[in-house]
Structure 1
């Protein structure tokens, strides 16, 4: 396994919204290159870049038209290779976003698959044997091809599903994962990985990794598929990293992934922390962390206590962190995010508290997500330094508030969120117990109660983390011999008489 993951801190870049260097209103590869030193100075040593391949952008690049070609609006393949090289010059790493489950209807593979005469792409996608039948639990697109049948789609109607087979077949047209069509699809996706790793990327974050093999209730088919991929990578590129968007680490780690994302949908209770009516990290102190902790512990044990569960500050698919928690609450939230196991993922702009931009029309399939995809706010100049284009040409409308946060202003303010995150990252990197593989034990996480307290440890040290987002003093029972306060925000906890008393709106890391 790539050792660099042990202390990796990822920065997620949405390329179209990061920095535009040619004045067309859309971010580009050169813009990312120009800001690599900024990312490194913040403390992040790895990048996850959202899809950057050729696409009609009906779903912001998650509808690929050519897996082997960079999207011209971002630059050329040579530009992308130069980005990889510049990342590596700084002793950083970069993962591309791989979307193996579906393509765009504009992909040449799909156009060939639509033809009535058999060809090498006939079984590249999942086709039924009838144009007329209705499907249960699957979307489909019909009446668009000369061949008989409907094509299964993932998500939007313009995203036909690639064929990796069905674990449990219930219809004659469904293929087995070991049939020639599904095997050829997997082989081609391995070719895609081979191409980009050869160009210099360090691996992939895999979109919806647990959904490739269909009718796979227990994920056995998908685990088997990814084990094949891992065997291929181990043989040719043993250092190549795979991070899954799966949400079930016990399954994804079995499949050969190094880490798994904690998803904001499903049973994780991640939204209880930041994105609900009463988030745990609100100063109102009406939230509940207990269900999240129970689910986390369950996943932690299932994954053999490896702790490789990534908790993002946010991403392109969910509301900005600053939509529901604000000001000093954000600093307390990052004390949590940067002290948990697994690699932290910071969504671009979250380090300065960028806001969700309300009431935007959908852009490139964003719909309600569009407000979380607005252009990065660098400085006080035109378009906050994002682009020299007229503002009406920007990819997404920017936050136009006069008090919008910027990198320039936050870097100049020693008490800013930016500097707090930078400080937290430095502390994490100085203590191996706080990094990806350090163990975790929750010591206080009661229903409807504050604070949250947990121990991080390895064979070198043990650190008590106490997080109290509520605006009131709280306490819990515990007898701890504290050697040193490694980090405090909002005041220091008091340890006396078998009780720990914690100031309101505070976070602390205590070396035991």
Structure 2
């Protein structure tokens, strides 16, 4: 049985890309102390939980998703003691912290991989997915080979410097002796090593993990059955030792992840969710042009929602380090309406740092640490109008990623003082969500319309709220609406004699 941490019921997460958040030692790279320094800012916004992208020792070929040492904070970010202090300071403020766990692969510089490359057998020989011949590559996966005396090819995830850890094959091919079962010694040792890593950081004060590509661990995995069983094994361990540790999966299939023991699952920006139909396509649904469509998203969401047995534990982020910024396709008014949707859906919402002020995608940047097209979404947080937008006192050329050079770039300080700003709207919406149990993580949802406007009903703890989201720049009317308007975004609405009139580029919430 999965034990649900109570704090997830009203959690609103803030995702922090540590490299680009706040630099306190003037080296051009954000650090752990910089996050601690800004906890009050995050708290004042209304977010009560944080997800920190990988902050462990790494050669940074993939921005930290290529881990060299799971037990050590990367020196450029600080020390383990700095991270423990961050946990403590967050807890003092009633906040919780998730670390980013990367269980599927390591860096080629990890000591496990260095040992696995040796020709003679040792305890790490089977820690990774190796074939038994340099001339044989793993089916359906890229590989690295010819790099050591060991005769074999090693499967990789994503980049060629990310060797795949071995959790076994759900159905090993009997003609390929190198394909190990989940119960073989190597895969079992890998799983126990994963538990040890989790045990270490949970004991240090972490509140749980966001798990990178959680559904990809077991190979040749029929309908995810092997990976589900693996995570059920982890859940059993957590229930015994850390029953209140929160687990959020990057899986994209909530029916599988929740059965596996996760509390929540992300809708991914790729695959069948149609998430990008809303925000990032040629005609986004949230564009005021009104040429987009939410229909396929709604149908996919309803299907996934049903598969979670009505738990609704599906996280919809504003964006993340792998996506274009919202502001690349939406203007400020459109983002207001988009946030009205994001912050009133079931599951915990996730706000990517800077999205609350409408930070832009920085165009035409040279790739930084494996970012490639994603680099433009990883620019430094814009805190104020001072030197380097308040991110760092280093020389501009030392910054991890160049800043948005626009003279009118948004910043947190200015928007915090402006009651009409996007940040103030986001803050108001978070507060609105927290004051109304129907709008929180576990409240029910029923879609009433998937066109323009998007209409859905949220229910919870005896409360019922109808949400009417109208991105299109056109006034519309809805008949037979009963109740009172309790919150509006954008250009407003009126409700008289059962007729709701909502203006274009607006959202309205009616308590029924």
TM-score range (shorter-chain normalised) is: over 0.9
Cross-structure match for 2:276: 271
Aligned counterpart for 1:232 among listed residues 237, 243, 246? 237
Q: State how far apart, in whole Å, the 1-side matches of 2:195 and 2:497 are.
A: 58
Q: State how far apart, in whole Å, the 2-side matches of 1:325 and 1:484 are.
A: 26
Deviation of 1:63 (Å): 0.1
Cross-structure match for 2:384: 379
Cross-structure match for 2:506: 506
Q: State how far apart, in whole Å, the 1-side matches of 2:350 and 2:256 are.
A: 21
Q: State how far apart, in whole Å, the 2-side matches of 1:333 and 1:313 are.
A: 9
Which secondary structure state, in structure 1, belongs to the residue aligned with residue 222 of structure 2? coil
Q: 1:43-192 to 2 correspondence within 5 Å? A: 43-170=46-173, 171-192=176-197
Number of aligned residue pairs: give it. Answer: 507
Q: State how far apart, in whole Å, the 2-side matches of 1:287 and 1:131 are.
A: 50
Aligned counterpart for 1:300 among listed residues 291, 296, 305? 305
Aligned counterpart for 2:219 among listed residues 210, 214, 217? 214
Q: State how far apart, in whole Å, the 2-side matches of 1:305 and 1:323 are.
A: 34
Deviation of 1:217 (Å): 3.2
Assess if the C-alpha contact under 8 Å between 1:493 and 1:508 holds in 2: no
Q: State how far apart, in whole Å, the 2-side matches of 1:475 and 1:460 are.
A: 27
Which secondary structure state, in structure 1, belongs to the residue aligned with residue 488 of structure 2? strand
Which portions of structure 1, spanning 4 or more consecutive aligned residues, are displaced by more than 4 angstroms?
none
Aligned counterpart for 1:409 among listed residues 405, 414, 428? 414
Q: State how far apart, in whole Å, the 2-side matches of 1:175 and 1:326 are.
A: 51
Q: State how far apart, in whole Å, the 1-side matches of 2:275 and 2:237 are.
A: 33
Q: State how far apart, in whole Å, the 1-side matches of 2:494 and 2:222 are.
A: 47
Cross-structure match for 1:203: 208
Deviation of 1:493 (Å): 4.3
- 1:397 matched to 2:398? The reply is no
Q: 1:487-498 to 2 correspondence within 5 Å? A: 487-494=488-495, 496=497
Which 10-residue stretch deviates more, 482-491 or 198-207? Answer: 482-491
Aligned counterpart for 1:470 among listed residues 466, 469, 472? 472
Q: Could you say what the CA RMSD is over the residues aligned between the two structures, in angstroms?
A: 1.0
Q: State how far apart, in whole Å, the 2-side matches of 1:112 and 1:216 are.
A: 27
Deviation of 1:495 (Å): 5.3
Question: CA offsets per residue over residues 432-455 of structure 1, 9 Å max, x none?
Answer: 10000000000111xxx3100000
Assess if the C-alpha contact under 8 Å between 2:327 and 2:335 holds in 1: yes
Question: CA offsets per residue over residues 166-202 of structure 1, 9 Å max, x none?
Answer: 1121222100011110000000000000000000000
Assess if the C-alpha contact under 8 Å between 1:486 and 1:511 holds in 2: no
Deviation of 1:502 (Å): 2.4
Cross-structure match for 1:485: 486
Deviation of 1:31 (Å): 0.4
Deviation of 1:80 (Å): 0.7
Aligned counterpart for 2:293 among listed residues 288, 294, 297? 288
Q: State how far apart, in whole Å, the 1-side matches of 2:423 and 2:375 are.
A: 24
Question: CA offsets per residue over residues 2-25 of structure 1, 9 Å max, x none?
Answer: 100000000000000000000000
Assess if the C-alpha contact under 8 Å between 2:333 and 2:490 holds in 1: no
Gaps of 5+ in 2: none
Assess if the C-alpha contact under 8 Å between 2:13 and 2:348 holds in 1: yes
Q: TM-score, normalised by structure 1?
A: 0.98
Assess if the C-alpha contact under 8 Å between 1:165 and 1:176 holds in 2: yes
Q: State how far apart, in whole Å, the 2-side matches of 1:375 and 1:78 are.
A: 24
Q: State how far apart, in whole Å, the 2-side matches of 1:488 and 1:393 are.
A: 40
Cross-structure match for 2:362: 357
Q: State how far apart, in whole Å, the 2-side matches of 1:412 and 1:200 are.
A: 34
Question: CA offsets per residue over residues 190-246 of structure 1, 9 Å max, x none?
Answer: 000000000000000000000000111300000000000000000000000100000
Assess if the C-alpha contact under 8 Å between 2:169 and 2:220 holds in 1: yes
Which secondary structure state, in structure 1, belongs to the residue aligned with residue 508 of structure 2? strand
Aligned counterpart for 2:459 among listed residues 457, 465, 469? 457
